[in-house]
Structure 1
Amino acid sequence: RTIDFSSIAKAAKNPDDLKGFGEFVQDECTYPNGAHICEVEIDPDTGVTEIVRYTIVDDFGVTVNPVLLAGQVHGG
C-alpha cells in the first residue's frame, strides 16, 4: 500500500510525533557495513518536503588501498 507525503502531513495531529522507520533484510550476506540517515521535514499544510540533514556512515575496516576505497564509496 502507498501514501503520499502530503497525506501523511495532513493526517499528523502532532508533527513532532510524525516519524517513520524502515528495515530491509537481504537473503544473502553482504560485506559492506554502513548506514544512511535522512531527516525530513514535511509542511502539514502544503505537503512540501525538505531534506534537513542526510548523513552517511561507512565502516571500512582495514584499508589497503585508499584510492580504490574512495572510488568504491563515491562510484559504487
Structure 2
Amino acid sequence: MVVLIVAIVMVASIIRAKYGYSRRGRSNEGISPEERAENLRLRDEVKELKERLKVLERITVEKENSLSREIDGLRDR
C-alpha cells in the first residue's frame, strides 16, 4: 500500500513538473516582464543558432559530397 502511495505521488510530481504547474497554479503567472523579455530574447537567439547550425550542416554535407566526387573522379583515371 505504501509503495502504491509513493508511486502515485511520484507520477503526480512528474506530471506537475512536465506541464509547469505549481501549488499556486501555473508557474508562468509569476514571471515578471523583464523575465518574459529575457525569455523571448533567448528564444530568438536559439532560433538564430539553429539556423546557423543548419547552414553549417549543409556546408559540411556539400563538402563531403564534393570530396567523394573528386575521389571517384580520381579512381576513374
* TM range, smaller chain: under 0.3
Higher-RCO chain (CA-CA 8 Å, sequence separation at least 6): 1
Asked which structure has the greater CA Rg, the reply is 2
More helix by share: 2
More strand by share: 1
